[in-house]
Structure formats: C-alpha cells, structure tokens
Amino acid sequence: MKKILWSAFTILLICFGLNLTAKKLDGNVSANSKRTLIIYNWGDYIKPSLLTKFEKQTGYHVIYETFDSNEAMYTKIQQGGTNYDLAVPSDYMISKLRKAHLLDRLDRRRLKNFKNIDPIFLHQSFDPKNNYSVPYFWGTLGIIYNDKFVKASEIQHWNDLWSPKFRHNILLVDSARDIMGLSLVSLGDSMNTTNSLDLKLAKTKLDELGPNIKAIVSDELKMYMIQNDAAIGVSWSGEAREMLDSNSHLHYVVPKEGSNLWFDNFVIPKTARHKKAAYAFLDFMLEPKNAAENAAYIGYATPNRAAKKLLPASLRNDRQFYPNQSAMKHLQVYRDLGPSKVQEYNDLFLEFKMYAH
C-alpha cells in the first residue's frame, strides 16, 4: 500500500527519462501494440531504472500510470477505460477485485521465479491460494519517535500516545482504517471489527487523543518529522524508513500488542490485452537481483526471500522493518469489510478529524 506521493521532480524524471507515456516507440509501438505493457501502480513505487532495464532486455515498451488510492484504482479498472496489464492493489482491495470478477486467474507455470517468494507471505485471506496475486511489498503501521524529545521507554505501545506529556506533539497519517485501527487495538479489539459499538468506542477514545494531535496529514508527515517539527508520528514502515535515513534521531516501533500487516500485490486485470508482456514483467521483478534493487530503492520490505539475502545486513536484519515471526503473529491484515462498513469507519474518522487538535 505504498503511500508515497510523487514529487514534481520524480514526475518529470519518469515521464521524460523513461518515456512512460502512450507515445509510439521506434515509430511502431503504441498502447495497442503487442510489444506494449501498461502498468497501473502507486506513485514512485518502482525503481525507474528497472523499467528501462526491462524495456532493453525484452523489447517491450512500458506505459506507466499511477493512482493515489486503492479506491481510485478500483474505479478505473471497473470502468475499463484503460486496459491495464498489471496493477498493484493492496490486500483488502485484491479481495474486492476478486469478488467483482475483475481479475484474471494466474498461470503460475509462466512464473519460474515465483518460488523465490517466502511462503509466509502466501495464502493470505485476501487470496487464499494466490490464484490472482503475486506479492510485491509488505509492511506495517507503527510509531516514529524523535529521541530528542521522547525516550524509547515512553513510546512502546499505542496507549502511550494518550500521555499528557505529548500534548500537541503527535502527527497522524490521514487514513481512516489505520487510525481507527490503532484505537481498536488499544482497546483490545480487532482492526477488522464490524461491531458498531466497538467502532464508536474506538472513536470516543480517539477524541480523547485530540489534545495531543498537532496535525493529521499525508505525505507532509515525513518532512515534519525529518525537520524535528513533532516528537511523534504514526505512519507506515516504508515512510518511516525514509525518515530514519534522513534523521538519525528518529526511530520506528511497532507496538507489541498488534498492528496492521499490509501487502501490495501484482494482479492482472481481466481486461489486460498484453498478458505475455505482463508475465514477462512479473518474472523479471521476481528475479532476486531485481527485487533486491527495487527494495533498496523503495524502502519497504520485500517478500522475496532470495532477494532479501542480497540486501545489506543493516537492512535485512533490522527488526523494525523485518519483524521476527513472534512479532508477526500479532499483526493483522485488513479485510474487505464491504462498502457500508467502510463508510462507517470513514464517517467516524471524519468526525474525529473535525475536532482534533
């Protein structure tokens, strides 16, 4: 669920340097050509040079489009305006796409590198037999804290966020499911609850957190934390990785009582026209060297165990971003709760936002 937003520089670099548009390549390759691959992905969620490498290695021309939310991606695929060959939805959205019969069933015989995926990241609830999806990245929701203002012992659990000492000093990522989820876990409830009373109680507890909230933001959270503008932030592991790399005073912790374990997977939409190219790209990205290079660039955890071995020891042994199996047992994968319950989460979160800080 890569939440990275494009910078203007990245947009220019990608569009100009890699020709990721629908224009023809060498005068005869277009969106309708058999030598084309159309990818629909989150912004800045692949190393650009890997796309160039794939084009040179295979002769396919890559057209790369981006989305900024799972819901926007779902609508575009459902409408069928563009026949995407590959998309990268998150866990619960994969389930929704599958139930809507919008995904093509995978032929894993065409993916010789599928064996590189660590089995612990297969057979998840959103695609029990991995008949429709190939793991791409995974990560967690956690707490980033600045040791200039906060001691490690002061911020190890979700309930620590409610401490009066953090008044007007916490940044929250603008995500209903995640923020409602952390409140639910702090109360001992599931992040996938459909119980309206549990949800209202979680929202009531969030209201009590209001005085501690400095801002509820999106991509800006990284900048604020890097610049020491807040003591604490709640965000995703990949975003945290980028922050920690830019400020040695920052640290990331996943509360032991539990949090979200999310997955982003490749899928082939039912309307894909260039399936040969799609399988070629999937196998290319599953090659250990390519997967490791991509993981080092993006900052999120790779499910490719062969690629993980190629990462620097400082990355692959970092328990903040590669939790051990004991910690993994307490993490929860989001489920597709249906539109009415998702709306309930969103409405309660919106009410909280209106009165926070």
Per-residue pLDDT at 10 exceeds 90: no
Lowest mean pLDDT of 37-51, 250-264, 315-329, name the range. 315-329
Say what angle helices 176-186 and 196-209 make with each other, to 10 degrees: 90
CATH topology of domain 8-138+263-316: D-Maltodextrin-Binding Protein; domain 2 (3.40.190)
The C-alpha atoms of residue 271 and residue 254 are separated, in whole angstroms, by 39
Residues 89-117: pLDDT tens digits? 999 999 999 999 999 999 999 999 999 99
Q: What is the pLDDT of residue 319?
A: 86
The C-alpha atoms of residue 261 and residue 236 are separated, in whole angstroms, by 10
Per-residue pLDDT at 26 exceeds 90: no
Q: What is the pLDDT of residue 68?
A: 86
295: tokens are: 């993981």
CATH topology of domain 139-261+323-355: D-Maltodextrin-Binding Protein; domain 2 (3.40.190)
Per-residue pLDDT at 155 exceeds 90: yes
Does pTM top 0.85 for this prediction?
Answer: no
Q: What is the pLDDT of residue 15?
A: 44
Q: Rounded to 5 degrees, what are φ and ψ at 125? A: -60, -30
Q: What is the pLDDT of residue 342?
A: 92
Per-residue pLDDT at 119 exceeds 70: yes
Q: What is the pLDDT of residue 6?
A: 38
Q: Which residues contact 50 (CB under 8 A, 6 or more apart)?
A: 285, 290, 293, 294
Looking from the CA of 238 toward its CB, the CA atoms found within 13 Å total 25
Nearest to 254 by CA among 179, 305, 182: 182
Region 22-43: mean pLDDT is 69
Region 212-232: mean pLDDT is 96
Per-residue pLDDT at 170 exceeds 80: yes
Per-residue pLDDT at 24 exceeds 90: no
Average pLDDT of the chain?
A: 91
- H or E stretch including 230? none
Region 296-312: mean pLDDT is 95
Residues 128-149: pLDDT tens digits? 999 999 999 999 999 999 999 9
Q: Judging by DSSP bridges, how do beta strands 134-146 and 232-236 pair with one another?
A: antiparallel
- 34 close to 274: Cβ distance less than 8 angstroms: yes
Region 157-167: mean pLDDT is 98
Q: What is the pLDDT of residue 121?
A: 94
Region 183-197: mean pLDDT is 98
**DSSP state letter for 162:** G
Per-residue pLDDT at 12 exceeds 60: no
How is 39-95 classified by DSSP, letter by letter?
EEEETT-S-HHHHHHHHHHH-PEEEEEEESSHHHHHHHHHHTSS--SEE--BHHHHH
Strand partners, 39: 64, 86
Q: Could you tell me where in the chain the CATH 3.40.190.10 domains are found?
A: 8-138+263-316, 139-261+323-355
Burial class (CB in 10 A: 0-12, 13-18, 19+), 211: middle
